[in-house]
Structure 1
Amino acid sequence: MRVMPEPANPAHYWYGDDPAVADVLEAVRAFRRADAAMRRRTAARMSMNETDMRALQVLIGREAEGLVTSPHHVTRELGISTASTTKLLDRLTDSGHLVRESHPTDRRAVVLRPTPHAHDEVRERLARMHRRMAEVVLAVPEASRADLVTFLRSMAAVVDDEEGTDPLRPANGPQTTR
């Protein structure tokens, strides 16, 4: 793995002085910022928090794949506690976005399903953006799309593989307040 040298150009703080690397990674960062902002706006317009929106995404995605979803799946996928999951599911049930049903083969288990209302709201808010995103994809030369998919999946793997960082250290030892 190549270690990036300290950049001579402060604009390339994170990526060294290779403009090709800096330009591409800055574009990825700009997309990630725009995506995060869009998710916050969409959640706010639906009177939800971002975790509730992510839960709906999990529920709708699993349903589209023909998979049964339990509270455990939501807990694991969102990385939240079982108590937080229960409160989240209560909110989504109360708002009409989710129904809880008995599992067809295990009476002790619960199956979660997004409601038609949830599907309608998500489509209403995201359909236009998804059409525009598809137009952007179609503008990429067909011969380049496979490379683009490989690049994005590789970037996702790097981000998914990152375990976090150590806490920041004070510059001059422990700081005291007076």
Structure 2
Amino acid sequence: MHVMQVAAKPEHYWYDDARGVAEILEAVRAFRRADQGMRRRTAAGMAMNETDMRALQIVIGRELHGRPTSPHHLARELDITSAATTKLLDRLTASGHLEREAHPTDRRGVLLHSTDHAHDEVRERLERMHRRMAEVAAAVPVESQPHVAAFLRSLADVLDDEDATAPLTPAGGAPTA
């Protein structure tokens, strides 16, 4: 069986010879890799997995905007089942990061709240990094800041809009795993 390999272009796999475009997108990739690594390290340092960390981030973020969070909302936001959500909430309440509270108007409903312990730990682990990131952002020339923000939001929109690609089927064969 002969496997044909397609060589990458000498300069850039995706972007022809658009050096400036490739350089910007490589910088974005480097940022994404660093962000993912930081999230893994932070979650591990807090003795939780990345989904637990994301759940805590969602609850705290919604609290900061005065919006309550239900287990159903959290499951939808994290794209996990209700059973997985129950296990996640059991872990985060056992670790002292979240509390469950009866919904004030729905007898069967539950609201989630972050604890002082969660806020203390998040601040302890992330405050210095966020301060340094703000310093980097402040160094962007004021006239360029709206353009940089628009660029990043547009990239986020592209990623949010991208559908999953079905597995490719090699010629004459079944889908590869």
TM-score, structure 1 normalization = 0.90
3-state SS in 2 of match to 1:48: coil
Report the equivalent of 1:32: 32
> How far off its partner does 1:139 sit?
0.6
Report the Cα distance in structure 2 between the residues aligned to 1:75 and 1:130, rounded to whole angstroms.
27
Q: Output one character per residue of 1:25-55: Cα deviation in whole Å (capped at 9) or x when no partner.
A: 1111111111011000000000100000000
> Is contact 1:99–1:113 with CA below 8 Å preserved after alignment?
yes
Q: In terms of mean alpha carbon deviation, does 50-59 or 9-18 score higher?
A: 9-18
| CA shift in 2, pair 1:11/1:63, >3 Å | same
Name structure 2 gaps, 5 residues minimum.
Answer: 1-6
Matched, 1:75 2:75: yes
> How far off its partner does 1:8 sit?
7.9
**AA paired with 2:156?**
A
Report the Cα distance in structure 1 between the residues aligned to 2:103 and 2:83, rounded to whole angstroms.
21
Q: Output one character per residue of 1:85-106: Cα deviation in whole Å (capped at 9) or x when no partner.
A: 0000000000000000011122
> Is contact 1:89–1:98 with CA below 8 Å preserved after alignment?
yes
Report the equivalent of 2:128: 128
Report the Cα distance in structure 1 between the residues aligned to 2:63 and 2:174, rounded to whole angstroms.
51
> How far off its partner does 1:170 sit?
3.1
Q: Output one character per residue of 1:31-86: Cα deviation in whole Å (capped at 9) or x when no partner.
A: 11110110000000001000000000000000001001100110010000010000
**AA paired with 1:32?**
R
TM-score, structure 2 normalization = 0.91
| Mapping for residues 1-178 of structure 1, pairs under 5 Å | 9-170=9-170, 173-174=173-174
Name structure 1 gaps, 5 residues minimum.
Answer: 1-6
3-state SS in 1 of match to 2:143: helix
Q: Output one character per residue of 1:127-153: Cα deviation in whole Å (capped at 9) or x when no partner.
A: 000000000001100000000010000
